[in-house]
Amino acid sequence: MALSKCEGVILRVKDFGEADRILTILSDTDGKFDAVARGARRPRSRLVGVTQQFSRVNALLFRGRNLDTLSTVELLSSYSSITSDVMKMAYASYVAELVDLMTGERQRNEMLYALVISTFEALDAGPADPDMVLKAFEIKFMSVSGFRPELARCVSCGKPENQASWFGPEAGGLLCDGCRSSDWGSVRFSAATRELAKRLLIWDYDMIAVLKPSRSSFEELNNAFRAYVDQRVGRKLHSLDFISDLKSMERGGKQDS
Ligand SMILES: [Zn+2]
């Protein structure tokens, strides 16, 4: 069996057999793939601590025909602030689930890898608000996955952006009043929201920390991109239920106090 080395981030961990784990890894050079970590659930295994979800690792693997086997794993970062904060963990789960669902096996995408690492770093250490990090991630992710939304003109007739105040999730971008009905799911997308979306697309996470959008702009963006991502994924993401449960608990807690 051939040995190979890569850097990657662990998107998903699942129990396998008596004491093994199967990891879904997104790597910088080999794209997404599954690998088995033999004995990783045994308390004294050297793989136990370094095969946790969201960890960034250097891995040495034996290449198999269907499944690779991890030989040694060196931990680069465990993003401890994500794993110790339930809301951040829910957000990181959403990032991992979306990337896993939308990425084919062994398709090298260095921009995607860099995006996932920078998103985990931003969730882990700030300075941007985690809600803004997540919105920025959605726009950036759709772009590196080949679904960059049209934010400069009506995607249907080409009218300039100042005449396009709707967003069509199916159409994939701005829509003007005349074209709005061509996408039944179109939602309001004001000028302020459009500018916010453009910044989230282009700016890096550190710069995003200075953005303080109005509540209505954030809601518009949230609605538009929720619909846009759902439309492209084609099914509901499990991590969204987890996030909405946590949010309603948070709201309930505030009302009580
Ligand atoms: Zn139009």
Long-range contacts of 246-254 (CB under 8 A, 24+ apart): 246/86, 246/87, 246/90, 250/87
pTM of the predicted protein model: 0.92
CB atoms within 5 A of ion ligand 1 belong to 154, 156-157, 159, 176, 179
CATH 3.40.50.620 fits 2-80, yes or no: no
What is the CA(55)–ligand 1 centre distance, in A? 45
The phi and psi torsions of 249 (rounded to 5 degrees) equal: -65, -40
Two structure tokens written together for 81? 């602030």
Q: What DSSP state is assigned to residue 152?
A: S
- The CA R_g of the chain, rounded to the nearest whole Å, is 20
Tell me how far CA of residue 70 lies from CA of 47, 48, 67, in angstroms: 9, 12, 10
The phi and psi torsions of 198 (rounded to 5 degrees) equal: -65, -40
Mean pLDDT computed over 69-89: 91
**Each residue's pLDDT tens digit, 181-200:** 999 999 999 999 999 999 99
**Each residue's pLDDT tens digit, 10-31:** 999 999 989 999 999 999 998 9
**Each residue's pLDDT tens digit, 210-220:** 999 999 999 99
Tell me how far CA of residue 150 lies from CA of 64, 85, 135, 160, 170, in angstroms: 42, 35, 16, 11, 12
Q: Where are the domains of the chain?
A: 2-80, 126-241
What is the CA(199)–ligand 1 centre distance, in A? 23
pLDDT > 70: percent of the chain: 98
Q: 257 pLDDT band (50/70/90 cuts)? A: very low
Top CATH class, 126-241: mainly alpha
What is the CA(222)–ligand 1 centre distance, in A? 22
Where are the strands (E) in 150-230, listed by range?
166-168, 173-175, 187-188
What is the CA(224)–ligand 1 centre distance, in A? 17
Does residue 146 have a pLDDT over 50?
yes
Mean pLDDT computed over 91-114: 93
Mean pLDDT computed over 22-51: 89
Contact in structure between 90 and 242 (CB atoms under 8 Å): yes
pLDDT for res 255: 59
What is the CA(83)–ligand 1 centre distance, in A? 45
Cα–Cα distance between 221 and 81 in angstroms, integer? Answer: 27
Rounded (10°) CA dihedral 231, 235, 239, 241: 100
